[in-house]
């Protein structure tokens, strides 16, 4: 396989919602305990999730908006672990080049300002820049394996980045924690969301296991037929 084996690991309410502040109220350490058992040394999250938990609050603003305009890769540090942020337009600012001691890798599109890439380099943050109008996820995953040596990757949301990986046929396994709570609010993002092709057929899954993760939470694992 030219890309990593990809597991989508998420905790949801029983109505399939994943709002971070809501999920925090109905789940506990079981999310991280089960994540460790997946043996994925690289973790990937979308912009909204990173904004909520890790990035600085004020977005990056370029003085010169000239786009990068071509694919590029910058590897700041060699590591056996990485935390990967998907940030199409280069909005996220970072307090450090690591999160909890693990090096950061940013995936952006070629529309990102060249100034943003220069800022990442200056801060010692690795990046993958690929995709003319939007991130080419398939190409980015191949670069993550070839340039960073990532063989197993856990995709940790949000819903739109999960949907993007699903639409691109890049998810091999779903690791689902079903937490004991109901959201029910109108318009909240679902586990997989944002796919605009209304004719798209559902992705069939094969059940691998069902277990109890603690605190009334079920751990359900599926293999996909992408």
pLDDT at 124 over 90: yes
Q: How many CB atoms lie within 10 A of CB 169?
A: 12
Report yes or no: 91 and 71 within 8 Å, Cβ to Cβ: no
The Cα–Cα gap between 104 and 125 comes to: 6
Residue 225 has a pLDDT of: 76
Interatomic CA distance for residues 180 and 68, integer angstroms: 45
Distance (Å, rounded) from C-alpha 220 to C-alpha 183? 20
- What value does the mean pLDDT of the chain take? 95
Which domains, and CATH codes, for the chain? 1-40+152-226 (3.40.430.10), 42-149 (no CATH)
What does residue 142 show for φ and ψ, rounded to 5 degrees? -65, -40
Find the mean pLDDT for residues 171-188.
97
Question: Do 156 and 9 touch, CB atoms closer than 8 A?
Answer: yes
Per-residue confidence (pLDDT) for residue 34, from 0 to 100? 97
pLDDT tens-digit readout, 196-226: 888 888 999 999 999 999 999 999 999 997 5
- pLDDT score recorded for residue 226: 57
Angle at 203 between CA 159 and CA 186, to 5 degrees: 35
Q: Using one digit for the tens of pLDDT, what is the confidence trace for 37-53?
A: 999 999 999 998 899 89
Q: By C-alpha distance, which of 23, 81, 3 is closest to 217?
A: 23
pLDDT(62) > 80:
yes
- With b meaning 16 or more CB within 10 Å and e meaning fewer, what string describes 62-97? eeeeebbeebebbebeebeebbbbbbbbbbbbbeee
- 3-state class (DSSP) for residue 71: coil
Distance (Å, whole) CA 195 – CA 193: 6
Separation of alpha carbons 44 and 22, rounded Å:
21
How far is 152 from 30, CA to CA, in rounded Å?
20
Average pLDDT over residues 137-160: 97
- SS3 state of residue 208: strand
pLDDT one-digit tens code per residue, 16-43? 999 989 999 999 899 999 999 999 999 9
**Sign (positive/negative) of CA torsion 144, 37, 180, 14?**
positive
Torsion 26-203-40-57 (CA) sign: negative
pLDDT tens per residue across span 94-109: 999 999 999 999 999 9
**What is the pTM (predicted TM-score) of this model?**
0.93
> What does the alpha-carbon distance between residue 8 and residue 4 come to, in Å, rounded to a whole number?
12
């Amino acid at each position: 396989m030219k890309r990593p084996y990809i597991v989508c690991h998420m905790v949801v309410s029983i109505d399939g919602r994943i709002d971070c502040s809501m999920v925090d109220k109905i789940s506990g350490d079981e999310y991280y305990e089960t994540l460790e058992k997946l043996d994925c040394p690289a973790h990937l999250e979308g912009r909204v999730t990173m904004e909520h938990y890790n990035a600085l609050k004020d977005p990056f603003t370029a003085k010169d908006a000239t786009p990068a305009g071509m694919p590029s890769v910058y590897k700041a540090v060699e590591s056996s672990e990485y935390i990967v942020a998907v940030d199409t337009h280069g909005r996220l600012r970072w307090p450090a080049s690591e999160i909890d001691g693990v090096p950061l890798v940013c995936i952006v599109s070629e529309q990102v300002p060249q100034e943003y890439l220069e800022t990442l380099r200056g801060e010692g943050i690795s990046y993958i820049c690929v995709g003319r109008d939007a991130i080419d996820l398939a190409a980015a995953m191949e670069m993550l394996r070839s340039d960073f040596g990532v063989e197993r990757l856990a995709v940790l949301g949000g819903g739109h980045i999960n949907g993007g990986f699903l639409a691109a046929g890049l998810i091999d396994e779903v690791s689902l924690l079903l937490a004991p709570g109901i959201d029910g609010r109108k318009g909240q993002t679902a586990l997989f969301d944002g796919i605009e092709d209304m004719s798209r057929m559902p992705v069939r899954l094969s059940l691998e296991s069902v277990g109890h993760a603690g605190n009334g939470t079920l751990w359900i694992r599926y293999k996909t037929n992408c």
